[in-house]
């Protein structure tokens, strides 16, 4: 992928503001984890009484750890933009940012963003909107 200046600048803005993304599936997984740990706790308590609560809690915690462990749950927005987004998605992202700025080209957008903090703020806001609305991601700052 040819990294153009606007995408690179948006990635730098995301890094400066420590923006990370997570898919909504991660939070559905968190709900599932509560169910798994609760079920283990309940079964342990029913089968072994008070000691079973401790054992069930420990087993449930280990099961949740195993389910939650794994790469790709949370990542820097810049890495997501560069590595996970398709060229079409990056083009739509750039288009949305340029539409919000008073420019007609991506070069004009870069120049404006380098000159004014207001343009950077607008571009960052548009980036967040694109990631949440178009790609259904959750922003973590």
- Find, among 66, 85, 65, the residue nearest to 75 by Cα: 85
Q: Is residue 42 a part of any domain in this protein?
A: no
**Residue 16: domain span:** 5-22+74-140
Q: Mean pLDDT for each consecutive 10-residue tract of the chain (141 residues)?
A: 80 94 60 73 84 81 67 80 93 94 90 94 94 88 78
Assigned domain for 63 exists: no
Give the pLDDT confidence score for residue 67 in this predicted structure.
Answer: 63
Residue entry with tokens 């960052």:
124
In a domain, 86, yes or no: yes
pLDDT score recorded for residue 29: 54
Distance, CA of 40 to CA of 29 (rounded, Å): 16
pLDDT of residue 118: 94
Neighbours of 43 (CB within 10 A): 15
In a domain, 88, yes or no: yes
Q: What per-residue confidence (pLDDT) applies to 1?
A: 42
How many domains are contained in the chain? 1
Return the SS3 of 19.
Answer: coil
State the SS3 of 36-85: HHHHHHHHHHHHHHHHHHHHHHHHHHHHHHHHHCCCCCEEEHHHHHHHHC
Q: Is residue 66 part of a domain?
A: no
Nearest one of 3, 6, 125, 10 to 76, comparing CA atoms? 10
């Amino acid at each position: 992928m040819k990294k153009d200046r606007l995408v690179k600048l948006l990635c730098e803005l995301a890094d400066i503001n420590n923006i990370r993304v997570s898919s909504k599936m991660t939070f559905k997984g968190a709900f599932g984890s509560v169910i798994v740990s609760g079920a283990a706790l309940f079964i342990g308590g029913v089968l072994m009484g008070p000691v079973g609560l401790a054992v069930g809690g420990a087993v449930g915690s280990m099961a949740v750890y195993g389910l939650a462990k794994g790469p790709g749950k949370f990542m820097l927005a810049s890495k997501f933009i560069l590595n996970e987004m398709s060229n079409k998605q990056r083009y739509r992202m750039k288009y949305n940012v340029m539409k919000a700025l008073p420019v007609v080209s991506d070069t004009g957008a870069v120049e404006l963003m380098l000159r004014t903090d207001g343009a950077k703020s607008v571009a960052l806001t548009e980036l967040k909107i694109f990631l949440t609305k178009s790609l259904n991601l959750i922003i973590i700052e």
